[in-house]
């Protein structure tokens, strides 16, 4: 229960300061607040207004107090925005909260020694007074780890780290470029914390600090394990966290935390599995502005307004984060982890139950649940303001389900799923070059290049399919120089076909704008498109080598044996089955991050006596941290594996984001993984 209450607890410090204040908050902190109770939390605590953290915002004439909540380092761009807001306002009292601890501010300012007190925060307080125009005004600067968004009781996301993604071979090349020939790293597993750019170091250290705050709150001593190079760096940072050492001496509770790199299995992340309602809702409904996870639910059906251009945008959208009602919260948890059929039936059941409670004239119908049926149930509430208010959470989730089920983009989802299944079978029967060739007709099939036909694949969809193939490419590609040449030849054909397709586009999706660096097709030259696609394929090759260092988990593919079709074996399932195996086998791929000297002594002694190494299943509580995102399907998979093994271990999940298939190309081809945005 303390895990559940921790995110809300982190906001207490902020809430104690917002009385009579205008609150300015950046998108990442706003998203955390959104899942912790939303703006209501701040208004109940006495806030006057909440505004975006932007140079174009300011306080009013009669608003003397401001509170800033940011997820970044207090220098550079972040400091400039605070200065801009203050200089346009009439503040006499400013409080600044940052999710980045003071110790990491020292690192950001190149101070290596641990100084007494909080000098960086104190200096910033002086700057605030300077900007307010009077050194006698009041300024406070402090740290608050408001980075956790509790999506369910078992799942917390950390929106402040949504762009943090494991490194690939192209990143290793960039790291090695800056190192002398003799000191270059042979693989990503060799990369250490000090060889990373400062921005990435700051982000990893901030993440470790936030996790340490969680373990401190739940009085827990954790054993850290990692699968993958980025996980290894984060787990190492948590293990060696200066405050963690004291906590581990006295904490009464014990837990294991296993970090897993998303890049080791991207097949599951881009797959259109088709059996999860929330995956479809996240993929087809428009995102809430400034949010990574939540979507906009059109609320027009709760009114008698007709859908016209005049009514577009007239109503505030609904969303998936329903913190006010326990019924809606339980419905959301079911939608997130159940199979689509069960989830849709549960949505119907809750709507029927709510209508019965309010004595609304509901017509019961059995059989298949349709979007129209769900909408007709929702519309019963529109004439009763009291009923609408009492059940608004369930109604928003019901509308989200209905709008996703009847969305015109769903046939494309099914088309992608069909192609993924075909490619999966093809991988077992032919080599990589032959499988890639099968994508050529798909690219060339569209003369218009708009992807306007409901089931025709867009360039974005094709990039998702390519990620799917390359994530399993090693299973299909036996290697060898001839094979590599053959693959390279087909890749060049694909780059050529995609370049032509891009040149014909009449509009560019946000992803294509990011990849090509232009905002419209009129600016896109053939050369620019070609070079952007060459970079895409270079990254994809890195994806195919992501599991090279693994011994037991090197494949996520089971080929066909004549009797059974080829199948995809999720890496997460393999890791969990290894952890919960009754023989408690030692797995070389799940690396234990040692706690320093004592562990070295133990290994020294183990030459003479039997010393058992720590195992992830040692403790009653297991945290899984997926670095780079988790999918709703994987949440169900975790539940299924734990119940199959009848384990008494409780498994709680944390991740940087909830993934939709389209997020993966953005994280792979567009995100600067080595230099995340830390607001400087």
The CATH number for 147-265+570-679, chosen from 3.40.50.1910, 3.90.1150.10, 3.30.360.10, 3.65.10.10, is: 3.40.50.1910
Q: How many CB atoms lie within 10 A of CB 599?
A: 16
* DSSP string of 555-578, one letter each residue: --EE---SSS--EE--HHHHHHHH
Segment 193-220, tens digit of pLDDT? 999 999 999 999 999 999 999 999 999 9
> Could you tell me if 632 and 274 are in contact, meaning their C-beta atoms sit under 8 angstroms apart?
no
Average pLDDT over residues 242-258: 88
Q: Are 653 and 576 in contact (CB under 8 A)?
A: no
Sign of the alpha-carbon dihedral angle for 342, 343, 348, 352: positive
- What is the number of alpha carbons within 13 Å of residue 608 lying toward its C-beta? 4
Residues 73 and 678: their CA atoms lie apart, in Å, by 6
Per-residue model confidence as pLDDT tens digits over 624-660: 999 999 999 999 999 999 989 887 889 999 999 999 9
Q: Which of 247, 205, 232, 234 is nearest to 102 (CA)?
A: 205
Report pLDDT for 30: 96
> What pLDDT is stored for residue 604 in this prediction?
53
**Angle between the 526-544 and 481-504 helix axes, to the nearest 10 degrees?**
140
600 is written with which tokens? 């070295």
Q: How many CB atoms lie within 10 A of CB 137?
A: 16
Q: Is residue 221 within 8 Å of 251, Cβ to Cβ? A: yes
Mean pLDDT calculated for residue range 609-620: 77
Task: Work out the average pLDDT over 356-370.
Answer: 84
Q: Collapsing DSSP states into helix, strand and coil, what is residue 25?
A: strand
What confidence tens digit (pLDDT) does each residue in 489-524 have? 999 999 999 999 998 888 999 999 999 988 888 898
Q: What SS3 state is found at 623?
A: strand
| Domain range list for the chain | 3-144, 147-265+570-679, 286-406, 410-446+453-545
Short-list 637, 618, 550, 634, CA closest to 580: 618
Is a pLDDT exceeding 60 seen at residue 610? no
What pLDDT digit, counting tens, does each position of 403-418 carry?
999 999 888 888 888 8
- In whole angstroms, what is the distance from residue 570 CA to residue 639 CA? 14
pLDDT at residue 353 greater than cutoff 70: yes
The CB-side HSE value for 298 (13 A sphere, CA atoms) comes to: 17
Contact predicate 463/511, CB 8 Å: yes
Report strand pairing: 155-157 vs 149-150.
antiparallel
pLDDT in tens, 289-323: 999 999 999 998 888 888 777 777 788 999 999 98
- 257: closest CA among 657, 665, 653? 653
Same fold, 3-144 and 147-265+570-679: yes
Give the model confidence (pLDDT) of 57-93 as tens digits.
999 999 999 999 999 999 999 999 999 999 999 999 9
Q: Which CATH architecture has domain 3-144?
A: 3-Layer(aba) Sandwich (3.40)
Question: What average pLDDT does range 592-616 have in this prediction?
Answer: 62
DSSP state letter for 261: E
pTM: 0.93
At 267-288, the pLDDT tens digits run: 999 988 768 999 999 999 999 9
User: From edge to edge, which strands make up the β-sheet containing 93-98?
Assistant: 49-52, 22-25, 65-70, 93-98, 138-143
pLDDT attached to residue 596: 54
pLDDT in tens, 448-459: 444 445 567 889
- Cα separation of 274 and 288, whole Å? 23
Mean pLDDT of 147-155: 94
CA–CA dist 421, 406 (Å, integer):
24
Residue-by-residue DSSP string for 343-404: HHHHHHHHHHHHHHHTT-------SS--HHHHHHHHHTTTT-HHHHHHTHHHHHHHHHHHHH
Give the residue from 385, 424, 384, 379 showing the smallest Cα distance to 402.
Answer: 379
pLDDT in tens, 555-598: 888 887 777 888 889 999 999 999 998 887 888 899 998 765 44
For the chain, what is the largest distance between any 2 Cα atoms, rounded to a whole number of angstroms?
81
Residue 242 pLDDT exceeds 60: yes
* Mean pLDDT for all residues in the chain: 89
Question: Which whole number is the average pLDDT over 116-126?
Answer: 92
Task: Report the pLDDT value the prediction gives residue 533, as an integer from 0 to 100.
Answer: 93
Q: Where are the alpha helices (DSSP H) in 406-559?
A: 410-429, 432-437, 440-444, 459-471, 473-476, 481-504, 510-516, 526-544
What's the mean pLDDT in 37-52? 95
Give the contacts of 561 (CB within 8 A, at least 6 positions apart). Answer: none
Instruction: Tell me if 657 sits within 8 A of 293, measured CB to CB.
Output: yes
CA distance 659 to 151: 13
Alpha helix segments (H runs only) across 616-656: 632-644
Place of tokens 């939303």: 38
The Cα 318–Cα 395 span in angstroms is: 9
């Amino acid at each position: 229960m303390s895990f559940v209450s921790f995110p809300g607890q982190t906001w207490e410090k902020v809430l104690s300061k917002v009385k009579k204040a205008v609150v300015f908050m950046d998108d990442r902190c706003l998203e955390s607040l959104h899942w912790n109770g939303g703006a209501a939390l701040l208004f109940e605590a006495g806030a006057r207004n909440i505004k975006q953290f932007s140079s174009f915002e300011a306080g009013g004439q009669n608003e003397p107090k401001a509170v800033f909540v940011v997820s970044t380092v207090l220098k550079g761009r972040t400091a400039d925005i605070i200065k801009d807001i203050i200089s346009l306002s009439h503040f006499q009292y400013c409080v600044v909260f940052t999710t980045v601890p003071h110790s990491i501010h020292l690192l950001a300012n190149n101070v290596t020694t641990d100084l007494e007190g909080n000098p960086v925060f104190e200096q910033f307080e002086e700057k605030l007074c300077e900007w307010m125009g009077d050194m006698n005004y009041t300024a406070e600067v402090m740290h608050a780890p408001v980075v956790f968004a509790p999506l369910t009781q078992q799942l917390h996301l950390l929106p402040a780290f949504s762009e943090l993604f494991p490194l690939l071979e192209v990143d290793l090349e960039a790291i090695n470029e800056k190192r002398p020939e003799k000191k270059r790293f042979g693989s990503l597993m060799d990369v250490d914390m000090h060889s990373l750019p400062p921005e990435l170091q700051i982000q990893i250290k901030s993440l470790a600090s936030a996790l340490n705050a969680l373990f401190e709150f739940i009085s827990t001593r954790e054993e850290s394990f990692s699968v993958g190079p980025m996980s290894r760096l984060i787990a190492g940072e948590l293990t060696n966290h200066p405050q963690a050492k004291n906590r581990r001496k006295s904490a009464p509770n014990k837990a294991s935390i296993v970090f897993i790199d998303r890049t080791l299995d991207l097949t599951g992340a881009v797959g259109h599995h088709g059996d999860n309602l929330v995956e479809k809702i996240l993929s087809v409904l428009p995102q809430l502005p400034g949010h990574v996870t939540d979507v906009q639910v059109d609320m027009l059906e709760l009114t008698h307004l007709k859908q016209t251009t005049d009514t577009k945008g007239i109503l505030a959208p609904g969303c998936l984060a329903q913190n006010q009602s326990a019924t809606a919260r339980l419905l959301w948890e079911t939608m997130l982890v159940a199979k689509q059929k069960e989830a849709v039936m549960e949505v119907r059941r809750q709507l029927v139950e709510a209508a019965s409670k309010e004595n609304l004239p509901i017509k019961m119908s059995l059989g298949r649940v349709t979007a129209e049926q769900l909408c007709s149930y929702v519309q019963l509430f529109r004439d009763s303001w009291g009923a609408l208010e009492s059940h608004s959470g369930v109604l928003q989730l019901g509308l989200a389900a209905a709008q996703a089920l009847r969305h015109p983009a769903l046939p494309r989802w099914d088309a992608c799923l069909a192609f993924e299944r075909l490619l999966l079978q093809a991988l077992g029967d032919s080599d990589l070059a032959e499988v890639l060739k099968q994508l050529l007709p798909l690219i060339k099939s569209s003369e218009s290049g708009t992807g306007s036909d409901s089931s025709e694949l867009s360039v974005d969809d094709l990039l998702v399919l390519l990620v799917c193939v390359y994530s399993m490419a090693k299973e299909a590609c036996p290697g060898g120089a001839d094979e590599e040449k053959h693959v390279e030849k087909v890749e060049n054909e694909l780059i050529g076909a995609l370049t032509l397709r891009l040149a014909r586009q009449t509009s560019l999706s946000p992803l294509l704008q990011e990849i090509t660096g232009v905002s419209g097709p009129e600016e896109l030259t053939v050369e620019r498109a070609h070079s952007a696609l060459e970079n895409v394929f270079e990254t994809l090759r890195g994806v195919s080598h992501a599991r090279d260092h693994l011994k037991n988990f090197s494949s996520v593919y089971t080929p066909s044996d004549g009797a059974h079709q080829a199948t995809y074996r999720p890496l997460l399932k393999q890791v969990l089955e290894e952890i919960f195996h009754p023989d408690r086998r030692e797995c070389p791929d799940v690396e234990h991050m040692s706690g320093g000297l004592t562990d070295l002594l133990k290994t020294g002694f183990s030459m003479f006596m039997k010393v058992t190494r720590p195992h992830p299943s040692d403790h009653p509580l297991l945290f899984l941290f997926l670095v780079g995102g988790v999918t709703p399907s994987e949440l169900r998979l975790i539940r299924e594996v734990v119940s199959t093994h009848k384990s008494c271990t409780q498994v709680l999940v944390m991740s940087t984001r909830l993934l939709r298939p389209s997020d993966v190309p953005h994280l792979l081809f567009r995100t600067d993984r080595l230099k995340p945005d830390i607001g400087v």
